[in-house]
Chains A and B, each alone.
Chain A
Amino acid sequence: MANLIRRATRLPLPGKIGLALVLFWIVIAVIGPWIAPYPPGSFVNEEVFAGSSRAYWLGSDFLGRDVLSRLVSGARFTVGLSAIAVTIAASIGTGLALTAAVGPRWLDELLSRAMDTLISIPSKIFALVLVAAFGSSMALLTLIIAITYIPGNFRIARSLAVGLAKLDYVEVARARGEGRLHLAVVEILPNILKPLFADIGLRFVFIVLLLSGLSFLGLGLQPPDADLGSLVRENTSGLAEGALAIIAPAAAIASLTVGVNLLIDAATQGKAE
């Protein structure tokens, strides 16, 4: 823990800004429902697309609901769903990649071709078909997004791992008689973590955007629940008047993704310790 704090204080300024943004959104995701001034689903304002006021800091949406309350409640879906999906995608993708790198050749071929097949399906269409077939649910959404991002992670992790698997230190371990699990987890994995984290961060951003995109199309979370993308979509009619109701969630998505990117860039650029 002390080590983590020391590393955080050593980050360059953009990294610190990124870290602050990411921490901010994590905190909001956790405590959102408790700090929301109004219930996110209730109609509290007579006026739709109201501007900022003392009672409604971010104004009201197209139905007269409080935007701030909906935003802080929606953050947990965006941050939470994306984090779970990216964890699933990276665990399965990297796991399969390591299997391919230390396993027999035919297994590598099989896995690589299977991933090529999966990667050739456009993600939005894939999501559309599955949602149309099974209906939208949070578990299904997470699963779809995770599956969509497994092949990309697999490819990066595999190319890193295959390169390392030919290095002398892995050969030495092999000659020692170490099992494949040891080769993969102890010898290879620690050396690909850094580029992998950069990849995971990027994928997290993509997932936030995909989730927002799906919600925007109406395929994501279903009302009254709303993630940040849904908030943008449901308030599109306010776009013409420049309503805060559409600017606020859009800015929230932007600050989250920019924050993650800044943090990852700074954290992975430093020299290996």
Chain B
Amino acid sequence: MTMTPHVDVRGLCVTVRAPDGSPLRIVDNVSFAIPRSEVLALIGESGSGKTTIALSLMGYARGGARISGQITVGEATLDGAGDKGLAAQRGHRITYVAQSAAAAFNPSRRVIEQVIEPALIHGTATDAQARARAVELFAALALPNPQTIGSRYPHELSGGQLQRLMAAMALITRPDLVIFDEPTTALDVTTQVEVLQAFRKVVREQGATGVYVSHDLAVVAQMADQVLVLNRGTVREQNAVRAVLEAPADDYTRTLLAAAQPVLKTVVPVAVKPAPLLSISGIHAGYGSIDRQGRPAHPVLSDVSLTVPRGGAVGVIGESGSGKSTVARVVAGLLAPTAGEVVLDGQTLAASLSERGREELRRIQIVFQNADVALNPAHSVGDILGRVLRFYHGMSGRAATARVAELLDLIRLPSAVAGRRCDELSGGQKQRVNLARALAANPDVILCDEVTSALDTVVREAILDLLAELRRDLGVAYLFISHDIATVKALCDEIVVLYKGTRVESGQSGTYNAPPYHPYTDLLISSVPELRTDWLSGVGPKATPQLGAVTDDAGLCRFLPRCPVAIAGRCDTSPPPLRLMDAGNAVLCHRTESELAH
């Protein structure tokens, strides 16, 4: 039985005009076919054209771009179809799940109205039928309370829930093709697992045909049947997902695979000087007005302590809302803690910025996640670095210019970059300049707040290598904050795990290779997708024991509501003890070492 492919793309090119007016092909001669009920993954770095290809499957090109080639989806031919023909396809036969569902929902309308809208617009179902199908899809996507969740507003739902609701919206018209555009990239790893499982289940049950756009090979391994590896708009490799993972045929695929598991090329000798450089102890902090007991309206951190040795690297991990960035803000003096102290080299630092001396400020530098907003777009790279030199070291004129060139050399950028504005640089280059600004102060410790999170895997690895090199050559210490345990393990000697502002575990990074660890650490580690296709089937939210109503007592374990190994009568009545494991890691849990080791 020969079957024509369900989705057929031949010789797809997308052309834009380069700044000098000449035509520039951003997608060059891409052909692929997807059989019915299969998922094809488009994978590559940013700028590889993967989203452009996905959008062109809807006959859509961003301003000024031109699509050529043959595109057939189901029975419809998209090339040459006019605006009216395309409008009939979009949201009906071909649907789209965007990266940020939070930005894709209208905040002032109930979600069910938005989910059933495509069906009503295209007249595929009556209002009652569409609502019934929506509830069915909510249940299939494992959303809580499928009957009633639709009557909520977007701001009442979490990012992971919105992402699943958006998938429901995409599936409501029983489309020929669903395009998933990086739908889990913005989610925490623990949430990502749930969303991926829901997506996979619903895609299989509904027999949907899909295109899954992602930069993350491990995620793709769970979702796709076929993989198309893209680089600069051309196809590097196309094969079944297992074949790509196990026997990559192309060099570029191998680079991607290597970057998915960061291993540093630069080996840093373990800090021989155990002298503490920076230590914070008993930090309580939060936002909002402070009440009479000295507690803020929105407490974020409670009793957090950690120590960074001279030249050491300490990682802080946790999901969004764990308070990990707040730790950096407290150390930098941007947020005054309500209790606890920050000690640098034996000197207790003042809580607020204005009371710290310039020399104290110089020794601690902070680097933010998003270089796009961390570098002032009105200034040139030379101005940005030069200001730090003048401010802390009183350097100007030729000495400053020479030092700027030296700094740029340190971060592997040509000295000509000094004259450029930041918006002329690539994401990785900006992040390097962001680092160079901190280095310009000659700091003792750099607070890195998610510095690699916004970067592609390949660029991320280069930045991590740079960080390790700088540490080796300059002896600078890091407080490295990240949500990605693989990144932290690659760079840091010591790791602290935060959950809802409490330190639940701390230890040498080697102790995170195998249990025993805290149940939350266990969840974090097991949620990181692995490069094998059967990984997703093996993990799953473990059933949490039913414990009656948990009082919101500050003393109790914060992880209790999500803990799969909680003990009724113990965990919900008394605060957890800090246990020291044989491997040297300290765990805040009622369970004993042998129980945690499973």
How far, in whole Å, are A177 and B332 apart by their CA atoms in the complex?
Answer: 10
A 153-193 contacts with B by CB, 8 A: 167-169, 171-172, 174-178, 186-187, 190-191
Known pairs A176-B388, A177-B358; A168 contacts B333 (CB<8 A): no
Asked whether, in the complex, the Cβ of A175 is within 8 Å of the Cβ of B391, the reply is no
State the Cβ distance, B156 to closest chain A Cβ, in Å. 25
B321 interface contact, C-beta 8 A: no
How far, in whole Å, are A263 and B491 apart by their CA atoms in the complex?
Answer: 53
Asked whether, in the complex, the Cβ of A177 is within 8 Å of the Cβ of B423, the reply is no
Residues on A with beta carbons closer than 8 Å to the beta carbon of B76? none
A4 interface contact, C-beta 8 A: no
A133 interface contact, C-beta 8 A: no
Write out, one digit per residue, whether chain B residues 347-366 have a CB within 8 A of any chain A CB (1) or not (0). Answer: 00000010010100100011
B85 interface contact, C-beta 8 A: no
* A167: nearest chain-B partner, CB-CB: B373
Interface secondary structure of A, over-half rule = helix
Residues on A with beta carbons closer than 8 Å to the beta carbon of B421? 273
State the Cβ distance, B356 to closest chain A Cβ, in Å. 7
Known pairs A190-B378, A272-B423; A175 contacts B353 (CB<8 A): yes
Write out, one digit per residue, whether chain B residues 423-440 have a CB within 8 A of any chain A CB (1) or not (0). Answer: 100000000000001000
Residues on B with beta carbons closer than 8 Å to the beta carbon of A176? 361, 365, 388, 391-392, 441
How far, in whole Å, are A169 and B370 apart by their CA atoms in the complex?
Answer: 10
* A190: nearest chain-B partner, CB-CB: B378
Contact of B366 among A167, A175, A273 (CB under 8 A): A175
* B441: nearest chain-A partner, CB-CB: A176
* B391: nearest chain-A partner, CB-CB: A176
Known pairs A168-B370, A187-B376; A177 contacts B361 (CB<8 A): yes
Asked whether, in the complex, the Cβ of A171 is within 8 Å of the Cβ of B376, the reply is no
How far, in whole Å, are A273 and B377 apart by their CA atoms in the complex?
Answer: 10
State the Cβ distance, A179 to closest chain B Cβ, in Å. 10
Residues on B with beta carbons closer than 8 Å to the beta carbon of A174? 334, 353
B 317-337 contacts with A by CB, 8 A: 332-334
Residues on A with beta carbons closer than 8 Å to the beta carbon of B369? 168
Residues on A with beta carbons closer than 8 Å to the beta carbon of B358? 177
B480 interface contact, C-beta 8 A: no
State the Cβ distance, B439 to closest chain A Cβ, in Å. 13
Residues on A with beta carbons closer than 8 Å to the beta carbon of B387? 186
How far, in whole Å, are A78 and B105 apart by their CA atoms in the complex?
Answer: 50
Asked whether, in the complex, the Cβ of B375 is within 8 Å of the Cβ of A169, the reply is yes
Residues on A with beta carbons closer than 8 Å to the beta carbon of B356? 177
Asked whether, in the complex, the Cβ of A175 is within 8 Å of the Cβ of B377, the reply is no
B297 interface contact, C-beta 8 A: no
A 64-106 contacts with B by CB, 8 A: none
Interface secondary structure of B, over-half rule = mixed
How far, in whole Å, are A32 and B421 apart by their CA atoms in the complex?
Answer: 43
Asked whether, in the complex, the Cβ of A175 is within 8 Å of the Cβ of B374, the reply is no
State the Cβ distance, B359 to closest chain A Cβ, in Å. 10
Residues on A with beta carbons closer than 8 Å to the beta carbon of B374? 168-169, 172
Residues on B with beta carbons closer than 8 Å to the beta carbon of A171? 334, 366, 368
Contact of A175 among B332, B378, B392 (CB under 8 A): B332
Residues on A with beta carbons closer than 8 Å to the beta carbon of B353? 174-175, 177
State the Cβ distance, B328 to closest chain A Cβ, in Å. 10
* B375: nearest chain-A partner, CB-CB: A169
Asked whether, in the complex, the Cβ of B373 is within 8 Å of the Cβ of A168, the reply is yes
Asked whether, in the complex, the Cβ of B391 is within 8 Å of the Cβ of A172, the reply is no
State the Cβ distance, B371 to closest chain A Cβ, in Å. 9
State the Cβ distance, A186 to closest chain B Cβ, in Å. 8
Known pairs A171-B334, A171-B368, A175-B353; A191 contacts B391 (CB<8 A): no
Which of B368, B370, B437 gathers the greatest number of chain A CB atoms within 10 Å?
B368
Write out, one digit per residue, whether chain A residues 209-220 have a CB within 8 A of any chain B CB (1) or not (0). Answer: 000000000000
State the Cβ distance, A161 to closest chain B Cβ, in Å. 13
Asked whether, in the complex, the Cβ of A168 is within 8 Å of the Cβ of B378, the reply is no
Asked whether, in the complex, the Cβ of A191 is within 8 Å of the Cβ of B334, the reply is no
* A177: nearest chain-B partner, CB-CB: B361
* B384: nearest chain-A partner, CB-CB: A169
How far, in whole Å, are A35 and B378 apart by their CA atoms in the complex?
Answer: 43
Asked whether, in the complex, the Cβ of A169 is within 8 Å of the Cβ of B332, the reply is no
Contact of B368 among A172, A178, A186, A187 (CB under 8 A): A172
State the Cβ distance, B575 to closest chain A Cβ, in Å. 34
How far, in whole Å, are A108 and B374 apart by their CA atoms in the complex?
Answer: 24
B 374-427 contacts with A by CB, 8 A: 374-379, 387-388, 391-392, 421, 423
Residues on A with beta carbons closer than 8 Å to the beta carbon of B423? 272
Asked whether, in the complex, the Cβ of B361 is within 8 Å of the Cβ of A191, the reply is no
How far, in whole Å, are A121 and B392 apart by their CA atoms in the complex?
Answer: 48
Asked whether, in the complex, the Cβ of B391 is within 8 Å of the Cβ of A178, the reply is yes
* B366: nearest chain-A partner, CB-CB: A175
Known pairs A168-B368, A168-B370, A272-B423; A175 contacts B375 (CB<8 A): no
Residues on A with beta carbons closer than 8 Å to the beta carbon of B333? 175
State the Cβ distance, B352 to closest chain A Cβ, in Å. 11
B 167-215 contacts with A by CB, 8 A: none
Asked whether, in the complex, the Cβ of B334 is within 8 Å of the Cβ of A169, the reply is no
* A178: nearest chain-B partner, CB-CB: B391
Residues on A with beta carbons closer than 8 Å to the beta carbon of B376? 169, 187, 190-191
Asked whether, in the complex, the Cβ of A191 is within 8 Å of the Cβ of B378, the reply is yes
Asked whether, in the complex, the Cβ of B366 is within 8 Å of the Cβ of A191, the reply is no
Write out, one digit per residue, whether chain A residues 240-273 have a CB within 8 A of any chain B CB (1) or not (0). Answer: 0000000000000000000000000000000011
How far, in whole Å, are A272 and B387 apart by their CA atoms in the complex?
Answer: 22
How far, in whole Å, are A190 and B376 apart by their CA atoms in the complex?
Answer: 9
Residues on B with beta carbons closer than 8 Å to the beta carbon of A168? 368-370, 373-374
How far, in whole Å, are A249 and B374 apart by their CA atoms in the complex?
Answer: 51
* B334: nearest chain-A partner, CB-CB: A175
* B332: nearest chain-A partner, CB-CB: A175
How far, in whole Å, are A177 and B362 apart by their CA atoms in the complex?
Answer: 9
State the Cβ distance, B205 to closest chain A Cβ, in Å. 43
* B388: nearest chain-A partner, CB-CB: A176
State the Cβ distance, A11 to closest chain B Cβ, in Å. 18
* A175: nearest chain-B partner, CB-CB: B332
State the Cβ distance, A125 to closest chain B Cβ, in Å. 37
Contact of B361 among A175, A187, A190 (CB under 8 A): A175
Residues on A with beta carbons closer than 8 Å to the beta carbon of B377? 191, 272
How far, in whole Å, are A163 and B388 apart by their CA atoms in the complex?
Answer: 24
Residues on A with beta carbons closer than 8 Å to the beta carbon of B361? 175-177
5 tightest A-B contacts by CB?
A190-B378, A168-B374, A168-B368, A177-B361, A169-B376
| Chain A to chain B contacts (Cβ below 8 Å), 12 pairs | A167-B373, A169-B373, A171-B334, A171-B368, A172-B366, A174-B353, A175-B332, A176-B361, A176-B365, A177-B391, A191-B377, A273-B421
Interface residues of A (CB under 8 A from B): 167-169, 171-172, 174-178, 186-187, 190-191, 272-273
Interface residues of B (CB under 8 A from A): 332-334, 353, 356, 358, 361, 365-366, 368-370, 373-379, 387-388, 391-392, 421, 423, 437, 441
Contacts A176-B391, A191-B378, A272-B423 supplied; 9 other A-B pairs, CB < 8 Å: A167-B373, A169-B375, A169-B376, A175-B332, A175-B334, A177-B356, A177-B358, A191-B376, A191-B377
